[in-house]
């Protein structure tokens, strides 16, 4: 792809590009007040959801077109650039008519090629920066496809947003980061800048700082962070929004690594360890869930919890498999015995529960 800078070239001196603002524009007062506070902290690009896709009907689905005039007020009173999510041709047309400076395609929209194509067709002949979020599910081809559709419409100021991926299993994240996927996107489309969305990855404000640092350690170009003047009163996603003061504190303490290093920085290796540890925990959570299902089956069929022959077979096979992968056999035996002990405890607890 032959791309142009989104607004200005992102260099070592001005990285990360920061986009901040509330999940949703709720009232004109809330929108403008948040923008003024962010502008006072040096933030140049203000984001606010005008149309909000909700999982179920009945929730706050955005203020709608009325909020676009509030973004115009933000620009007039603060000088900030404005950004919002678009999902339909109507959204694109109204946002452009209102002078919105940056558009992004949301995760649910990226999942649907028909919807992305509708947005792309409406953008033909327009010069506006567009960011494409990864799809809800961990499918890099869908993500690349979304970027290509927007690029084929003639958009040359193009970027990607990494907001994590949905998972059925319980994790510390709202959406698991699965960092290997944006890393693969960078390998395949090295000219596309990647912006991290720690708000949607974490789902909790206390995780924003650490996720932001991980993104910078992986040489992401920017951050898009949800910030609200009174986040505890937010009409949507209040747990993942932070005040402008907290945002400024986080940005102050972020360490920006050099992007021209020829060897992998130790911190990046440590982040990979953290990511792998999280995956281990997710796998263990899945395993114990299955153990509980087995316990339910044994209870219903009046079976003994301990199946000695089965356990001996597992122990022998897994240790041999581990050794073939250069993992110490005694270490693996200790791990498997601990897992088995916990599985038995879980099943006994379930069977004895009245």
DSSP string, 139-207: -HHHHHHHHHHHHHTT--SEEEEE--B--SS--SSSSB--THHHHHHHHH-TTS-EEE-HHHHHSSGGG
Give the sign of the dihedral formed by CA 137, CA 110, CA 178, CA 223: negative
> Which band of pLDDT confidence, cut at 50, 70 and 90, is reported for residue 176?
very high
Question: Which one of 44-53, 291-300, 313-322, 330-339 scores highest in mean pLDDT?
Answer: 44-53
CATH code: domain 17-253 is 3.20.20.70
pLDDT at 53: 77
Q: Which residue has the tokens 């079976």?
A: 303
- What confidence tier does 301 reach under pLDDT thresholds 50, 70, 90? confident
- Binned at pLDDT 50, 70 and 90, residue 267 comes out as low
Asked if pLDDT for residue 84 goes beyond 70, the answer is: yes
pLDDT at 79 over 70: yes
Average pLDDT over the chain, rounded to whole?
90
- How many Cβ atoms from other residues are within 10 Å of residue 197's Cβ? 28
| Residue 305 confidence (pLDDT) | 66
In this model, does residue 264 exceed pLDDT 60?
no
CB-count exposure of residue 117 (10 Å: 0-12, 13-18, 19+): middle
**pLDDT value, residue 96:** 98
* CA distance to 9, 11, 203, 234, 270, per residue, from 265 (Å): 24, 19, 28, 39, 9
Mean pLDDT within 220-239: 96
Distant-in-sequence, close-in-space partners of 51: CB < 8 Å, separation ≥ 6: 61, 62, 64, 84, 85, 86, 87, 91
Is the Cβ–Cβ distance between 135 and 107 less than 8 Å? yes
Report percent pLDDT > 90 for the chain.
63
For residues 11-34, average pLDDT: 93
Alpha-carbon distance values, 353 to 154, 201, 295, 346 (Å)? 63, 36, 11, 11
Q: How confident is the model at residue 307 (pLDDT cuts 50, 70, 90)?
A: low
Residue 80: what pLDDT?
97
Measured distance CA(33)–CA(46) in Å, rounded? 12
**Best-predicted range by mean pLDDT (28-37, 289-298, 308-317):** 28-37
* Cα–Cα distance, 14 to 158 (Å, whole number): 18
DSSP string, 249-284: HHHHH-----TT-SS--HHHHHHHHHHHHHHHHHHH
In angstroms, the CA 168 to CA 233 distance is: 28
Residue 190 has pLDDT above 70, yes or no: yes
pLDDT bucket at 186, cuts 50 / 70 / 90: very high
Mean predicted confidence (pLDDT) in 177-196: 94
Q: How confident is the model at residue 311 (pLDDT cuts 50, 70, 90)?
A: confident
Question: What mean pLDDT do residues 60-68 have?
Answer: 90
CB-based contact 163:133 (threshold 8 Å)? yes
pLDDT band at 354 (very low <50, low <70, confident <90, very high): low
- Residues 109-125 have a mean pLDDT of 97
pLDDT digits (tens, 9 = 90+) for 89-105: 999 999 999 999 999 99
Examine the pLDDT at 300 and tell me if it is beyond 90. no
Mean pLDDT for 66-89 is 97
- Answer whether residue 118 shows pLDDT above 80: yes
**Residue 290, pLDDT score:** 87
**Structure-token match 């990285």, residue found:** 15
pLDDT at 345: 86
The CATH homologous superfamily to which domain 266-352 belongs is Chorismate mutase (1.20.59.10)
Q: Rounded to 5, what percent of the chain is helix, strand, coil?
A: 50, 10, 35
Task: Give the per-residue pLDDT at 346.
Answer: 81
Please choose, from the candidates 51, 41, 52, the residue with its C-alpha nearest in 3D space to the C-alpha of residue 18.
41
Q: What is the Cα gyration radius of the chain?
A: 24
Whole-number pLDDT of residue 223:
98
- The domain spans of the chain are 17-253, 266-352
User: What does pTM read for this prediction?
Assistant: 0.76
Work out the pLDDT band at 265, boundaries 50, 70, 90: low
């Amino acid at each position: 792809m032959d791309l142009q800078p989104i607004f200005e070239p992102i260099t070592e001196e001005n990285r990360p590009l920061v986009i901040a603002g509330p999940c949703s524009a709720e009232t004109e007062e809330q929108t403008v007040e948040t923008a003024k506070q962010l502008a006072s902290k040096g933030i140049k690009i203000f984001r606010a959801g005008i149309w909000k896709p909700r999982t179920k009907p009945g929730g706050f689905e955005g203020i709608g077109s009325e909020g676009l005039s509030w973004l115009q007020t933000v620009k007039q009173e603060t000088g900030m650039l404005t950004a919002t999510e678009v999902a339909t041709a109507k959204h694109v047309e109204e946002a452009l008519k209102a002078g919105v400076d940056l558009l992004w395609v949301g995760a649910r929209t990226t999942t649907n090629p028909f919807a992305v194509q509708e947005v792309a067709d409406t953008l033909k002949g327009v010069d506006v920066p567009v960011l494409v979020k990864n799809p809800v599910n961990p499918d890099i081809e869908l993500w690349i496809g979304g970027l290509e559709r927007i690029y084929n419409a003639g958009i040359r100021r193009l970027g990607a947003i990494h907001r994590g991926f949905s998972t059925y299993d319980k994790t510390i994240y709202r959406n698991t980061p699965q960092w290997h996927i944006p890393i693969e996107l960078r390998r395949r489309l090295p000219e596309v800048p990647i912006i991290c969305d720690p708000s949607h990855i974490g789902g909790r404000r206390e995780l924003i700082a650490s996720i932001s640092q991980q993104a910078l350690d992986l040489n992401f170009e920017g951050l898009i962070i949800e910030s609200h003047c009174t986040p505890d009163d937010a009409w949507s996603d209040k747990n993942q929004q932070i005040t402008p003061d907290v945002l400024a504190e986080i940005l102050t303490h972020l360490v920006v690594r050099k992007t021209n290093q020829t060897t992998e920085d130790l911190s990046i290796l440590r982040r990979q360890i953290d990511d792998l540890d999280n995956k281990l925990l997710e796998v263990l959570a899945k395993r114990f869930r299955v153990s509980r299902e087995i316990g339910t089956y044994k209870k219903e069929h009046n079976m003994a919890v301990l199946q000695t022959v089965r356990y001996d077979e597992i122990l022998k096979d897994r240790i041999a498999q581990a050794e073939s992968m250069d993992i110490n056999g005694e270490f693996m035996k200790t791990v498997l015995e601990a897992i088995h002990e916990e599985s038995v405890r879980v099943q006994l607890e379930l069977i004895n529960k009245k």
